[in-house]
Each structure stands twice: as structure tokens, then as C-alpha cells.
Amino acid sequence: MSKVAKGLAWSLSQNALSRLLSFAVFAVLGRLLGAEAFGLVALGQAILDVVVMWVDQGAVSYLVHKEELTDDHKNTAFWTSVGAASLLCAGLVTAAPLLASAFDAPALTGVVRAMALVLPLAALSQVQTALLTRSFDFRALAIRQSVAAVLGGAAGIGAAFAGWGYYALVTQLLVAQTVSTAALWVASSWVPQFRWTRAIAVEQFRYGVGITGANLVRIVGSRVDAFIIAAILGTSELGLYSVARRIMQLCSNILHKSADAVILSSFSRQQSDRNALEAAYHRALELSTAVSLPAFVGLALVASDAVPLLLGAERWEAAVPVLQILCAAGVLLGPSYVNGSAFRAIGRPSRLLWIQLAQLTAYFIALALLYPLGLEGIAGAYVVALACQHPVEMWMMRASGFAIRPWARTAARLLFCTILMGAAVVLVRYAATSLPFVWLRLALSSIAGIFTLLAALMIFAPSLIRDARRQLRSMRERS
């Protein structure tokens, strides 16, 4: 438990720091670049995200999950990832002009070719990431993220000031990935040997096919909006949408993804003790809901003040209603991260594929109905799809032997506390309408919401407060 506590402390603190640094860099770049630049790079990122799934092929989860790990497992996973990444990089460079022509965006050719270099860079550090995660060395992983965020952000901002336009965003991505890979090689003592075992590759493929399929379906489902907007509305509109979605994703990463690796590793170590695994699952699920529900409801309520203040330009105000809709997706994503880790820990990663297929089906149906409403309709379709996915996830968790009712009762209390918090935010915003400074109105409404939420939790959900204090005390004692 000491390693888990220390890992959680480092992962939450340092990874949250790197996410906050990314958020700060994003805010600066939002002031320097326009919607067209963000839209073009968002389209390139969407293409890259679909391809990069074939680099990992579930290797990280496989190596973390495997109880007895040999050098043959590590070497086979390494060379499989590097080989796949090299082929995919070459294919993406070759196909770049065709993709640019398909979206009527000539500048996309150079963007895609430059971003394709991320594939081999990411593949070179897959095994190191798994080994550090497996050994609960989240300190090294967290420092790597922070350093990569700082240096990548500095390079991107410098390129933007130099007038590189959309290539400033590409520069940020490439520098961050290069630094991240180099840092992982320094942190890990393992060095690959040129050995590859077919039987292990087949075993890894069988374990990872469900994860890869689920991730691919998830990425296609989460990126199809970018393709549709770019094809129908153009890259400028995609820029507005991508900024709103980026804010939601950055907040979700800060709140949830920082602890994701710790949760997966902790679940995997407890897979032989079902009672301990179920208790850990319930704690993680309740914590995720307690964080995501009030945070994203609060963000939706203050978005009209926060977005212009953050990005410093009226041209981004059109992104506000899109962000407010996507905040509902942020609420639903929190429990999904926990459920995904639980499925992988119990050796049922293939169930993720069926969940993602259900979500993708709902997404396409919702898109067909809502896309005529523009950016807001496309954002709404994503929320509808996640709302359809959520009960399927919970049903599968229950079918896997996990009790869901305790979480449902806690979620109901959290919803009531969040409603009280939202009422306080709305009242303070209304009372502060005449204030001359937007930042002051934002600060007052945020403070009112936080204190109201804490008071409500102490009255209606005191067990959550006690659990949070106990966890913090435990982490301090063991760190």
C-alpha cells in the first residue's frame, strides 16, 4: 500500500501540474493564434489519434497486467510497437496529400507529415512507460510529463511569437513527445535487445485486441466530429469547436487522467483478491464522481466569463455554448475511466470493445439527427452517445460481479449537493452582474460555489469528506 499511496501522491500532484502547465500554454497560444490554426492542427491531431492506436496495440496494459514478466515479453512488445509505428509513419507521410485534398485543406499535407513523426517517437517509450507503471514509479512518469509540458510549451510559444502560425502547435507537440521519450529512457534501466518471440506476440495480440479495438472505436467516435466539421463547415469552425473540446479535455485530464495509471496498476495488483479489488473500485468510482460532477457543472455555469478571460479575445465567445454542452460529457467521462481500468484489471478488456461499439452506434444516430444544428448539435450528439454508453458500462460491471447500488446512492447525494452549489453560483453571478471586472465576478461566483459545495457535502455526504481526509492523511504518512 505504501507504493500505491506514494504513486497516487506523485501522480496526482505532478501530473496535475503538467496538465495545468499545458492549460497555461494553451491559453497563451489561444491569444496568439486564430481559429483557423487551431482547426487545421485539430484535424491533423484527429487523423493522428486514429492511427496511433495501432502503435500501442494494448502493449502497455499487457505488460502492466502480466504477473510474470520476462525480457522476452519486453523485447517482443518493444519491437512490435516500433515496427508498427515505422510502417504507419511511412503510410501517413505518403497519404498526407490525399487527406489534404479530401478535406480541401492544402496546408494539411505539411501538418500531417510533421505530426507523423510522433508515431515512432511514442513507440520508443511504450515498454518503459509500462515498466515504470508496473513498479509504481509514478515519480519518474510525473516528472517526465512536467518537463515535456514545459519545454514543449516554451517551444510552441516561441514559434508562435516567431510567426510560424499553425506550425507553432505542431512544434509544441513534437518537442513535448521528444522530451517525454528521452526522459523515459533516462528513468528506466531497461534497454531493448534485438529479440522477438512469435508466441509472445500472439499472446499480446490476443490480450490487446479488445483494448485496441475499444480504443479505436472510442477514438473514431470521439474524432468523427472533427472530420464532419472540417468537411462541412471548414477548419475555422473546427477551430472554435476544438478549443471548446480542448478546454473540456484538459479539465478532464487534470481531474481524472492524473490518477488513471495508478488506478490501473493498483487494480491489477489486487486482481487475485476480489474483495479488495471491489472495495478499491467503489472508492475510485465514488471519488471520480465526487470530483467530476460539481467541477463540470461549475465550469458550465461560469464558462461565459471564463473563456473570454482565459483566451483574451471576443472571437472565442462562439465556443462558450459548445463548451457548456461538452461539460456534460466531462461528467460522464470520469466513471468511464474507472470502469475501463477495472475491466482491464480483471482480464476482460474485450468488454470495452462492446461498450465502445454501443457508444459509436448511438453517436452516429445522434449525429444524423443533430448535426443540422451546427457546432452545438454535434457537441450534443457526443453527450447523447456517452449518456447511452454509461448504463451499458454499469450493467457490464454488475454482470462482472461488482455491486453498483452503493455508488448510485452516493451519486444521488452528490447530485443534490451539486444542485445547491449551482444555485449559489447563479445567485452570486446575478448579484455581481454590475461589477466592472469579469475576473472579480468569476472569482466571487467560484468561491461561493466551492464553499456551498463543501458545506453541503459535510451535511449530506459526510462519509465522502471523512474518506477524503483519511486518504490524504494516509498519503502524507506514507510519502
Of the spans 208-217, 229-238, 263-272, 400-409, which averages the highest pLDDT?
Answer: 229-238
pLDDT category at 52 given cuts 50, 70, 90 is confident
Rounded to whole angstroms, the Cα distance separating 30 from 211 reads: 34
Rounded to whole angstroms, the Cα distance separating 374 from 229 reads: 9
| Mean pLDDT, range 398-403, rounded to an integer | 82
**Region of poorest pLDDT, from 208-217, 296-305, 319-328:** 208-217
Q: Which long-range contacts (CB under 8 A, 24 or more apart) does 309-313 make?
A: 309/438, 309/439, 309/442, 310/27, 310/30, 310/247, 311/27, 311/30, 311/31, 311/243, 312/27, 312/30, 312/31, 313/30, 313/31
So what's the pLDDT on residue 441? 93
To 10 degrees, what angle do helices 198-232 and 375-399 make? 150
Q: Flag whether pLDDT at 348 surpasses 90.
A: no
So what's the pLDDT on residue 16? 66
So what's the pLDDT on residue 444? 95
pLDDT in tens, 150-185: 899 999 999 999 999 999 999 999 999 999 999 888
Residue 289 contacts residue 422 (beta carbons within 8 Å): no
Rounded to whole angstroms, the Cα distance separating 461 from 198 reads: 53
pLDDT category at 349 given cuts 50, 70, 90 is low
Rounded to whole angstroms, the Cα distance separating 216 from 222 reads: 10
Helix, strand, coil share (%) of the chain residues, nearest 5? 85, 0, 15
Which grid cell sits at 160? Answer: 508562435
User: Of the candidates 467, 462, 457, which has an alpha carbon nearest to the alpha carbon of residue 285?
Assistant: 467
Q: What is the mean pLDDT of the chain?
A: 84
User: Of the candidates 219, 231, 134, 144, which has an alpha carbon nearest to the alpha carbon of residue 181?
Assistant: 144
pLDDT in tens, 98-141: 999 999 999 999 999 999 999 999 988 888 888 787 776 667 77
pLDDT in tens, 60-103: 777 777 667 777 888 888 888 888 899 999 999 999 999 999 99
Q: Where do runs of H (alpha helix) occur along 234-319?
A: 235-255, 260-269, 274-311
